[in-house]
Amino acid sequence: MSGSVARARRRDRRVYVRSHPVLFVLLAAARRRPVLRIGRTLLVNDAGAYREVLTRLPLDRTAPGTTGGAARSALDATGHRDGGVLFDQEGTGHRAGRRDLAGSLGTDGVEHLRTTWRPLLARRLEPLAAGGEVDLVGLTRELSGTVVRALLGTAASASPAAVAEAAAHVAAASVRGELPGLRRRGARAAVARSTARLRELLGTGDDALPAMVAVAAVNTTVAAVPRAVAWCADAGLWEQAADDVLRGPLTDELLRVTVASPLLPRVAAADGTVGGCPVRAGDRLLLIARHAVDAHHGAPDALRPAAPELARLVFGAGPHTCPGARLARTLLADVLEALAPYRPVVVRAVVDRGAALPGWRTLTVRRGPAAHSPSEASR
């Protein structure tokens, strides 16, 4: 492993080690086994077993401690019970919600969304041309809030940054409320306040789906984009980012290695097997996406990318594949293209210890010594 790649990996490990140290150590210790049972919990590390859970095993998608359960808890805390929430992932309401969202996230929909984020991206990166600094986390929050407002068609006057901050608070409060162990005092009230605030800012009335879309879009984007930029800066990947042919494969590689949602908690709804290991209804399944896509080995490289079927697992598998995959790829590719002329270097990085997903609270960059001239960068 080259020195630059080792430096990039050390920095990226900090988002796990400093935000969820006990969990990271546990998962790292168990990753050599494709599937490992600990009591009624199965740790799933193998790509084949990971895909098997998502496509063949019946799952209780609203059980406590799962993604759907956290979403349902957030809505129940505000007195809102709507079976059509996206993250319930079951039933006709779920299918209708996904169809509507998929229409907005298709090729034409994403191209429309690009018209909202590209001018913002160019404007917010202008300080780099003059030798100034830019916080990629703050920029990504603004980008994600802008995308959410455009995607949902909200006419609310709240700023994109305010929407993104509220969505981050909902996710963090929901995760704290769903973690195993003693129930934290005031956790339910915190979820209720955060969710009510987000829905107020969105101005979308009683519909539960917009708030849940905002939570998913903001938190995965803010977790992934700054980490991807740090990888490019530390591992010297800006030449690949600047190349119109290599940028696409590099984007997929960065999304695979950063894997914004590194762990998916699920609960079995029926007996079955996973990777040859018997599963009983009610067993808890911890799907370790980070291990399944081999994010903990090697480095992102557009010249030697992972197999597409492996890289795509970061967005799930089967009928519940994330509908925002195209949006995520396009947004990150545009960020890399806009940054590449400046060849940024990281000057400050602070882990976000309170976020729902591993990521940076601050990631400050400035123009690197190999950057193009300001006139070239602005073309």
Q: How confident is the model at residue 278 (pLDDT cuts 50, 70, 90)?
A: very high
The beta-carbon contacts of 184-193 under 8 Å, at least 24 apart in sequence, are 188/73, 188/77, 189/77, 191/73, 191/74, 191/77, 192/77, 192/78
pLDDT at 30: 82
Q: What is the DSSP string of 261-294?
A: S-EEEEEBSS-EEETTEEE-TT-EEEEEHHHHTT
Q: Which pLDDT band, with edges at 50, 70 and 90, does 27 fall under?
A: confident
Helix (H) or strand (E) holding 332: helix 325-339
Radius of gyration of the chain (CA): 20
| Residue pair 275/44 in contact by the 8 Å Cβ criterion | yes
pLDDT band per the 50, 70, 90 thresholds, residue 22: confident
Q: Give residue 74's pLDDT.
A: 56
Reported as a pLDDT band with limits 50, 70 and 90, residue 371 is: confident
Q: Given this model, what pLDDT does residue 90 score?
A: 52
**pLDDT of res. 88:** 47
- Taking the CA of residue 246 as centre, how many other CA atoms within 13 Å lie in the half-sphere pointing to its CB? 14
Range in 30-39, 228-237, 361-370 the model is least confident about: 30-39
Instruction: Judge whether 73 and 177 are in contact, CB under 8 Å.
Output: yes
More confident residue, 240 or 320: 240
pLDDT at residue 182, rounded to an integer? 42
Average pLDDT over residues 107-111: 93
Residues in the chain: 379
Find the angle CA(39)-CA(23)-CA(252) to the nearest 5 degrees.
110
Q: To the nearest 10°, the Cα dihedral for 8, 10, 15, 16? A: 130
Question: Distance between CA atoms of 221 and 327, rounded to whole angstroms?
Answer: 10
HEC profile of 16-56:
HHCCCHHHHHHHHHHCCCCEEEECCEEEECCHHHHHHHHHC
User: What whole-number distance in Å separates Cα of residue 52 and Cα of residue 107?
Assistant: 29
Summarize the confidence of residues 276-303 as an average pLDDT.
93
In the predicted model, is pLDDT for residue 95 greater than 60?
no
Distance CA 359, CA 14 (A): 9
Q: Higher pLDDT residue, 101 or 227?
A: 227
| The pLDDT of residue 96 | 54
Mean pLDDT lowest among 21-35, 44-58, 107-121: 21-35
Question: How many Cβ atoms are within 10 Å of 95's Cβ, its own excluded?
Answer: 13
Mean pLDDT in residue range 164-169: 92
Q: Could you please report the per-residue DSSP string of 121-167?
A: HHHHTHHHHTT-EEEHHHHHHHHHHHHHHHHHT------HHHHHHHH
Q: Is the pLDDT of residue 339 over 60?
A: yes
